[in-house]
Amino acid sequence: MQASPALVSSDDLYLFNTGQLFRAYRTFGAHLMEFDGQFGVRFVLWAPNAREVSVVGDFNDWQDSDRSVRLSPLGTTGVWVGFGPGLREGASYKYEIVNADGVRQLKSDPFGFQSELRPNTASVVTSLHHHAWHDRDWMDDKKKNPPYSKPMLIYEVHLGSWRMDAPEQFRNYEQLANELVDYVCSMGYTHIEVLPITEHPFDRSWGYQATGYYAATSRYGPPEGLMKLIDRCHRRGIGVLLDWVCGHFCKDDHGLRLFDGTALYESSDFRRAEKPLWGTLAFDFGKPQVQSFLLSNALFWLDVYHIDGLRVDAVASMIDMNFDKPESMRTLNRYGGTDDVEALHFLRKLNETVFHYYPESLMMAEDSSSYPAVTSPTYLGGLGFNYKWNMGWMNDMLRYMETDPAHRPSRHSLITFSLHYAFSENYVLPLSHDEVVHGKRSLLNKMPGNYNEKFANLRLFYGYWMTHPGKKLLFMGGEFGQFDEWKDYAGLDWSLLQYPLHDSMHRFVKDLNRMYLDTPALWESDHRQIGFEWIDVNNASQCMLSFQRMEQTSESPIITVCNFSRDKYPVYRVGVEKPGNYRLLLNSDRSDYGGSGYETPSLILAQNIPMHGKSHSIEVPVPALSILLWKSESA
C-alpha cells in the first residue's frame, strides 16, 4: 500500500529529525490500527540511505512478493512508511532493506515491541495495552516522597539465573512475580534492580549487548508478563530499576549495525564507533535521530512498563572518547580534549527529559571516572543524575577486605578515604555482579582466613557497608554467602542454605536489612555531612574504627565500632557525647549468625570519663572481626 501523509504527522517527522521526539515509539515501529476502513499494521522506519524498504514475515513466507508491505519514503525526511491491511497481532516480521549498492538485508525493527525467542531474531507485532495496572497508590506515593531521605536497599538480579531448574529452564516473568517478589519482601529490600532485559541474542552477554531496545526479552515470556512482575512489585512496596545500556550495541546482522547499508546509529568514523574492549559499536550521540531513539526509549520503559528508574551503564566509557582504546584509535574532540562532548550533551539531555516527565524517577550513573558533578543539576553544570555508583569506595573496600588482617594496619586509609568525598555526590554503594565474575571470586571467597573467618569478615564487611553513608546495592547470592562465582548459566546455589554458616549468613543479612530500615540515622542524611561523624578514625594499629550516625529528629546517635583484626578486646573504650544507657542494636559475632558468641552485654551505661574528644565514654568488649552498633537511649 502506498504511503499517506495521514499515517505520520509532519510534526513528528520534524521533531524526530531534530532530536526532540521524546516518545518516538508511538510513531515508529509496527502499530495496530485502522486506516481507510481497514484494520492492519502501520510500519514506520528511519532508513535515509535505503533504496527500497519492504516488510516481510511469516505472512508471506519471508519473501518479497505481492503480499509484502511496501514502504514509501516521506520526502527527504529519511523516514519510510507503509500500511499492511489484514495483518494481526502476533505476526513475525523484518524489514527487507535494499541499500544504495543494491544489496538486500533483513533487519529487525529498531522500535519493535517484542522479538521472537532466540535464536530466531524477527520482530513480532504486539500491542502493549493488554495489562490492567493496579499500582496507582505506588505511583502516586513516590511523587510525594523523594528518595534522598528514605532507605534504599537494592537487590540486583539477573532474572535468568536467580533460580533455574536446569540449563536454560528459566523462570518466566509471572513465576518471578510470585517467587522473587515474595523473597525480596521477606528479606527487607526496597528495590529490585534488573540486569538488562532489552532483547539480546546471546545469553551470556547478560543483556548488555542488545538488539531490541523496545522489546523486553522473550526468554522469560511475553511483555504483559513483565508488566505483571513490575505491578506486583509495586503493590508489595518494591521499586523496580532497569539496567539501561545506551552507550553501545552489538554487531549482529539483524540489529542496528549498518542499518540501511550505512553507519546510521553508529559513527562513520570507525575510531569513534568501535568499542574494541567489548566488540560492540558506540551510538553516535551527535545525530538528532539517535537522540530521539534513545531518549524515547528511556521514557518508554517509564511510560509503558512503569519502571521506577534507570541505572545507566558504562558512563565512563561514554564520556571518554578514548576509553580502553589503543593508541591507533584515539581521537580528540573539537576543543582538542578527550571528553566526548556529544555524549555529555546527550546525558544532560537524557536527565533533563526524564525528570521533566518523571521528576520522581531514579537516574543512576554507573560511572568509574572522576568526572565532577555527576549528580548535580544540569543548570549548575552537572550531568543531572540523582545518584552515582561509588566505585571508588567499592574498589578500596574490596582491596582492604581481601588483605589478611595481619597486614591491614598498613592499608587503613583504604577504609577511611571515602569519607573525604562521600558527600560530593549522591552515592549508591554497590556490591554488584561485576565483582563476582571473570575470576574475581565471590564476595565470601574474597575474604581471607579459614572457613569461619571468611564468614566473620563478610559479616563485618556488610555491617560497615550498611552503616557507611550512601544507599545500598547487593547482587543476588551475596546474602547467603554464595561461595562460587556467579554462574550466569546456572541458578544460584540455594542448596548452600542447608549448611549452618550459610544459613546463619542469610539470617544475619535479613536482620541487618531490617535494622537498616528501622534506623533512620543510617539513611536520613546519607548525602549530608551532618549525618556522620568519626569518633576514632586513626586506630590503624588495632584495625579499629568507630563513628556515629545521627538522626534528623533525635539527639540519640548510633555508635558503630568495627574491629577488622583477629584480636578480641575484652575492654575497649569509645567516646560518646551523651550520658545514660546505650543499647546494643547489632553484634555480627552472635552465635546464631555463625559467630563465636563472645559475651557482649545488651546494655551499657556511659561513664563520666572523657575519650576521643567526648565528655563521656562507654567500655565495651569487642569480638574479633566484628561490628557492633549501639544506640543512645538518653533523652
Residues with catalytic annotation?
313, 366
The strand ranges marked E within 490-588 are: 532-536, 544-549, 558-563, 569-576, 581-587
Which residue is listed with cell 529519511? Answer: 78
Q: Are 498 and 453 in contact (CB under 8 A)?
A: no
Which residue is listed with cell 511475553? Answer: 222
The strand ranges marked E within 108-265 are: 123-124, 153-157, 191-194, 198-199, 212-216, 239-244, 248-249
Coil, strand, or helix at residue 224?
Answer: helix
User: Residue 502: CB partners within 8 Å, gap ≥ 6?
Assistant: 480, 481, 483, 496
Which residue is listed with cell 519502571? Answer: 307
Distances (CA, A) of 274 to 52, 107, 338: 28, 20, 16
Beta pairing partners, 85: 40
User: Residue 227: CB partners within 8 Å, gap ≥ 6?
Assistant: 131, 133, 305, 306
Q: Are 284 and 272 in contact (CB under 8 A)?
A: yes
| Distance from C-alpha of 70 to C-alpha of 45, rounded to nearest angstrom | 12
Q: Which cell numbers in the block locate residue 206?
A: 547478560
CA 598 to chain centre: 39
Q: Is 164 exposed, middle or buried (0-12, 13-18, 19+ CB in 10 A)?
A: middle
Q: Are 561 and 459 in contact (CB under 8 A)?
A: no
Cis ω before 119 (30° cut-off from 0): yes
